[in-house]
Each structure stands twice: as C-alpha cells, then as structure tokens.
Amino acid sequence: MADIKNLKVNLEQKILESENVIIVPHSRIDFDAIGSGLGLSMIAKKLRKPAHIVVNDPQYEIDHGVQVLMEEAKRDFSIINKEKYMQIAHPGDLFVLTDVNKSYLVSLNDQLEKERTIIIDHHDEDDKTVEAFEKHIDTGASSASEIIAKLMCLYKMKPSPEVANYLLSGIYLDTNKLRKNVSSETMKTVAKLLDCGASMNYITNLFTEDFASDRHVQELVGKAKFTNISIATVMGDEEERYTCEELAKAADYLLKFNPDAAFAIGNIGDGVISISARSKERVNVGSIMQEMGGGGNQFSAAAKINDSTIEETGKKLMKIIQPPCYIK
C-alpha cells in the first residue's frame, strides 16, 4: 500500500527545492482532478511556494459544474493554460500530477523530467505511466481528493471551507455520490471536510444536471443492451457527439439495473471515441480498459480510441468482455 508519510517527506523536499509547483491534472478535467489540484495548491502555499494548475482543455469540453468551481477558485488560486505556463516556465519547476499517471492524458507531458515529477493518483499503473521521482498510487483510495485531504491532515492543515468543498466534490464524483468504492477511511475524510466547513448543499448544487445534458444521457441509456453474462453496453450514434461526463453518467446509471459491469461508448469529437466503464465486485474494468488503451481501477475506468468508429470499438470491446474478464 502506498505510504502517505513517505509522500509527505518527498513532496515537501521537492517543493522546497523548486522554483514553482506546477500541478498537472488529466485532460478533460473533472471534479477530482481540480479538487485535488486545489488542495495541493494550498499545501504549496503553506510551504511558501507559488503554485499553478495547468488546465488546457477547451471550455466546451469541461462539465458545467467544473467550470463553475474553477471560476470561483480563480479568486484565490492560479489556474492557467499551457500557453501561459510556457511563458513562465523555469528549469527549477516541480511537476505534480494529480488524479492521473498516464502520459497520453497529460498536457505537459513534453515538459516532464523524472527527477522533477511526482505522481499522486488512485488509478492503476501500466506501461504508459509517466516516469517520476515519486509515485504515490493508492488504488485503495476513492479518489485523488481523498489522498490530498489525508496529506493535509499530516501537515496539520485545516482546509478553508472553499477548499474543503473542492476536495469533497472530487470524492463525491469518484464515489458516484458516496454510493460506491467507499471505505471507512473515505467516510472519515468526508466527515473531516464537513467539519472544516464543506457544504453538502454546495456539492449537490454543483452536480445538478442541466436539462439538455440529462435528456442526452437518458436517450443514450435507452439504447442499452444486456448480454447473457450480465454486462450492459450502450453505444451512441456515430454522428452524435457526447461529453465524457455524459458517457460516465450513462455507465453509472446502467449499474442501477444490476449488471456486473456497464460500458458506454460515444463520439466525443475530434475523431476520438471514448468508453466509460463501471463495475461492481466481479469485473475489473480497469484491466479491460487497459486492453483498450486506457486505464483506471477495478470499479471505474475509461479509454479513448483514435481513428476508429463506435461500431468497431464496440466489436473490439465485446471480444474482451467475455467470461474470462470475471475476477476469480
């Protein structure tokens, strides 16, 4: 199991040696990526080092709730794009990857050097994992936000109510509203964040669906098929465009019908097909998505495929999700 005390020692050493702390979440940023990044920014501030979160996604690819959170956070934290970072880049910068460890999901991958890179994540490693001085990968954690919240406790830091909200939003997302992948440690962390001023009303408002997106998800779910090995799959129309969040919500929704695993496939634009995968106990969707070129953990994973169609992607997936995919 990843040693968070060792992470604290190495992270502090590297932050103090650095010129700037550059926090790099995954592309198509979500609540866990930005929440953990903002918590890490607060740690850098405590150590008196400037921190910048680099978000290089086009605005239309970012979930509305995440946009709201980021605009609010910009009052107290630096959130910049790659172009802006390149203008202030320094050879002494430390790169900290949060909620990601795969090179193809990192906008600054061409800037990373092993001795100046730290990973804090809860997704499984594979051969596409970035080389780093320190890799803190805790697949038992619900989210990167849970890891950062625990790290703040080791620093004896009390997050502001705003940062407590940001961290709680990350946990809330990756546990599907505290309904899956939740341990006693997760709930202790949630309780501490609430004690610091986090508000469940704030969180639920962030997650409020806009009508058009909700209808899009429901239309997608209506196309679902269930196989005789208790796997639910849904494939969007080739010409229809979906967001990663919509595919994730569709896969989460399908689990309500009690399959062992659910997969949602759709066109997210720019010639990219995305798969969102969710499971319960019996299927490791992280392993399946690795075979599709992506990754994740046992219960939640995803993959992006270039130069393919939804139909071709679906056929390839179905060859993989046969009975051997079940955990022995």
Which domains does the chain show, CATH number per domain? 4-206 (3.90.1640.10), 214-325 (3.10.310.30)
Strand 134-137 versus strand 94-98 pairing type: unpaired
The per-residue pLDDT for 326 is: 58
What is the spatial distance between Cα 35 and Cα 24, in angstroms, rounded to a whole number? 12
Q: What is the pLDDT of residue 297?
A: 82
How far apart are the C-alpha atoms of 144 and 250, rounded to whole Å?
23
Going 174 to 176 to 182 to 187, the CA torsion angle's sign is positive
pLDDT beneath 50, residues of the chain: 328
Residues 261/283, Cβ–Cβ less than 8 Å:
yes
- Each residue's pLDDT tens digit, 36-63: 999 999 999 999 999 999 999 887 678 8
State the pLDDT at residue 247.
93
For residue 223, the 8-state DSSP code is T
Burial of 118 (0-12, 13-18, 19+ CB in 10 A): buried
Closest C-alpha among 149, 150, 162, 151 to residue 199:
162
pLDDT of residue 281: 77
DSSP state of 62: S
Tens of pLDDT along 195-228? 999 999 999 988 876 556 678 888 899 999 998 7
The pTM of the full predicted model, rounded to 2 decimals, is 0.77
pLDDT of residue 321: 83
Per-residue pLDDT at 244? 87
Q: Rg of the chain over CA atoms, in angstroms?
A: 19
Which is nearest to 324 in space by CA: 269, 273, 283? 283
Longest Cα–Cα distance in the chain: 57
**Separation of alpha carbons 236 and 240, rounded Å:** 7
State residue 207's pLDDT score.
83
* pLDDT value, residue 212: 61
Distance separating alpha carbons of residues 103 and 110, to the nearest angstrom: 9
Instruction: State residue 64's pLDDT score.
Output: 83
